[in-house]
């Protein structure tokens, strides 16, 4: 199998971190979003959603959507578990994974897409929408600090896919997305440094 | 266990349909979004995201996020499978589930939230954003018609959670969300009528 991958965007990084945590290394095909390579006819045939990443299996099946790709990897390589093992644990990790996506990643990505000059060519930008989403993202970062005061990792006392989603989100959008991490938030900083020290953070 | 449920909103309906497909009936506690019952202090203590639905287990654990609730139900009641059984099938169903969420549900919900008078009290509305999202939603409905020309159900030849997500989305936002189903789209109509005929569509 092989992974269609962009080295800068936060979403393909989720899959690379997930693979690294599993100790897996698979061939990668670069699709550089900054050069518009995700919009070519060739790539569109493979990935009709024109999004990166995509995983192509040896039988030609293409799996789109980073979390669906991670689900496949978890299925073929269950250790170490990153999506839970019991129904309750699986549900709680999925709950946190999704809460981070909808409550944090989505507003942060909306600010970036609707205000960053680099996104002007890819998006019908609505600056007023970016302005309305920014305080929502900042409020959620403050709540994340409260969450991380209660437990070591996002979904509890064990590293999971929810940490990968949150870490790649905070890393990218706080550095490049126009939403610098607010002062304070010591628990977010403690957790971020802890995840950054894992070998998978280099993936 | 019991489900905190709103009878009108599309997201809790996903869980009710999922339960009905499993032949399960569990106690429900109404939380009427139209009356602001999801914003009370009592409900916020249970569901800090102030969203409906929420599933409370007998041990007091609360699972938020409809798809995470469905994951739990799939775990404790695997038959009939609605989220796949092999790693590849699970990944492809999750891919379609997420593609429908991000490519169709999200733009449709954005139009509704940012333009419907009923949402004015709940949302900082940006009408220009609604206007920009409407053609995206309509284009994705046209693509859905092409998808459903190729396979009977959203994720292939078997009914799955992806159909529940797509059906509850189309039903709600085409009827009440200001995006009536465009003319034509015969495959979408065939599939919608087929899903509407399932007993679970009454849930």
Q: Is residue A82 part of a domain?
A: no
Please report where in the chains the tokens 């690294």 appear, as a residue: A20
A15 and A107, same domain (yes or no): no
pLDDT above 90 (res A119): no
Summarised one tens digit per residue, pLDDT across range B100-124 is: 999 999 999 999 999 999 888 888 8
The answer to whether the Cβ–Cβ distance between A94 and B67 falls below 8 Å is: yes
CA A172 to chain centre: 9
Q: Rg of chain A's alpha carbons, rounded to an integer?
A: 17
The whole-number pLDDT of residue B165 equals 98
- A81 domain-assigned: no
CA angle A165–B56–A187, rounded 5-degree value: 35
How far is the C-alpha of B45 from the C-alpha of B53, rounded, in Å?
A: 14
State whether A181 and A99 are in the same domain: yes
CATH of the domain at B134: 1.20.1050.10
Contact A153, A163 (CB under 8 A): yes
Q: Judge if A52 and A108 occupy the same domain.
A: no
Domain contains B161: yes
For residues A155 and A159, give the distance between their C-alpha atoms in angstroms, rounded to a whole number.
8
B69 touches chain A (CB under 8 A): yes
How confident is the model over A181-203, as a mean pLDDT? 97
Contacts with B, A 5-64, CB within 8 Å? 48-49, 57, 61, 63-64
What is the span of the domain harbouring residue A188? Answer: 87-202
- Please indicate, yes or no, whether residues B66 and B94 belong to a single structural domain of this protein: no
The reply to whether A42 and A64 lie within a common domain is yes
Distance in Å, alpha carbon of B88 to nearest chain A alpha carbon: 6
DSSP B76-109: H--SS-SS-SSHHHHHHHHHHHHHIIIIIIHHHH
Do residue B97 and residue B117 come from a single domain? yes
> A18 has which bridge partners?
none
Pairing of strands A28-30, A2-5: parallel
**What confidence category does residue B34 fall into, taking pLDDT thresholds of 50, 70 and 90?**
confident
Predicted local distance difference test score (pLDDT) of residue B166: 98
Confidence of residue B61 (pLDDT cuts 50, 70, 90): very high
Q: Is B142 on the interface with A (CB under 8 A)?
A: no
Looking at chain B, the whole-number percentage of residues with pLDDT higher than 70 is 100
Task: Note the pTM of the prediction, 2 decimals.
Answer: 0.96
What is the average pLDDT score of chain A?
Answer: 96
Residue B156 placed within a domain? yes
Res A137: pLDDT: 96
Residue indicated by tokens 């789109």:
A64
Same domain, B99 and B176: yes
The CB-side HSE value for A92 (13 A sphere, CA atoms) comes to: 18
pLDDT digits (tens, 9 = 90+) for A35-56: 999 999 999 999 999 999 999 9
Mean pLDDT, range A166-172, rounded to an integer: 97
Q: Are residues A71 and A91 in the same domain?
A: no
- Interval B178-186 mean pLDDT: 94
A104 and A180, same domain (yes or no)? yes
CB contact under 8 A, A65 and B98: yes
Collect all residues of chain A within an 8 Å Cβ-Cβ radius of residue B128.
Answer: 126, 128-129
B64, B72, B98 ranked by CB distance to A87: nearest? B72
CATH of the domain at B19: 3.40.30.10
Specify if B27 maps to a domain: yes
Do B126 and B183 fall within a single domain? yes
pLDDT band at A123 (very low <50, low <70, confident <90, very high): confident
How far apart are alpha carbons B29 and B184 in whole angstroms? 40
Q: How confident is the model at residue A177 (pLDDT cuts 50, 70, 90)?
A: confident
- Compute the average pLDDT of residues B40-68: 97
Domain boundary among B41, B76, B111: B76
Question: Which of B80, B162, B98 is closest to A69 using CA atoms?
Answer: B98
B60 and B119 housed in the same domain: no
Answer with the one of A76, A105, A134 that is the final residue of a domain: A76
**Domain total of chain A:** 2
- Is B82 within the bounds of a domain? no
Give the mean pLDDT of A94-98. 98
CB contact under 8 A, B72 and A91: yes
In a domain, B24, yes or no: yes
B134-149 pLDDT per residue, tens: 999 999 999 999 999 9
The answer for B60, left when phi > 0, alpha when psi is -120 to 50, beta otherwise, is: left
Residue A121's pLDDT band, with cuts at 50, 70 and 90, is: confident
pLDDT at B119: 87
pLDDT tens string B158-175: 999 999 999 999 999 999
Of B106, B102, B116, the closest CA to residue B34 belongs to B116
Give the chain B residue nearest A70 (alpha carbons). B91
Domain boundary among B53, B76, B99: B76
Per the CB < 8 Å rule, is B69 touching A91? yes
Q: Alpha carbon B82 to chain centroid distance?
A: 14
For residue B71, give the nearest of A91, A129, A143 by CB distance: A91
> What pLDDT sits at residue A34?
87
pLDDT above 70 covers a percentage of chain A that reads 100
Determine the average pLDDT of the residues in B49-76: 97
Instruction: Evaluate whether residue B72 is within a structural domain.
Output: yes
Query: Are residues B114 and B19 part of one domain?
Result: no
The CA distance from B143 to B163, in Å, is 15
């Amino acid at each position: 199998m092989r992974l269609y991958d962009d080295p800068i965007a936060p979403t393909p990084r989720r899959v690379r971190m997930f693979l690294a945590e599993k100790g897996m290394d698979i061939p990668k095909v670069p699709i550089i979003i900054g050069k518009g390579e995700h919009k070519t006819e060739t790539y569109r045939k493979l990935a009709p959603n024109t999004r990166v990443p995509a995983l192509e299996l040896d039988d030609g099946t293409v799996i789109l959507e980073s979390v669906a790709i991670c689900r496949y990897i978890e299925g073929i390589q269950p250790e170490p578990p990153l999506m839970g093992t019991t129904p309750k644990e699986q549900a709680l990790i999925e709950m946190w994974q999704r809460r981070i996506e909808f409550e944090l990643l989505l507003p942060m990505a909306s600010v970036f897409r609707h205000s960053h000059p680099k996104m002007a060519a890819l998006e019908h930008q609505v600056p007023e929408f970016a302005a309305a989403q920014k305080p929502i993202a900042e409020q959620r970062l403050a709540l994340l600090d409260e969450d991380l005061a209660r437990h070591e990792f996002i979904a509890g006392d064990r590293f999971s896919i929810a940490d990968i989603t949150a870490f790649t989100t905070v890393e990218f959008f706080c550095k490049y997305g126009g939403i610098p991490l607010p002062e304070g938030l010591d628990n977010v900083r403690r957790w971020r440094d802890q995840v950054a020290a894992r070998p998978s953070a280099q993936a």
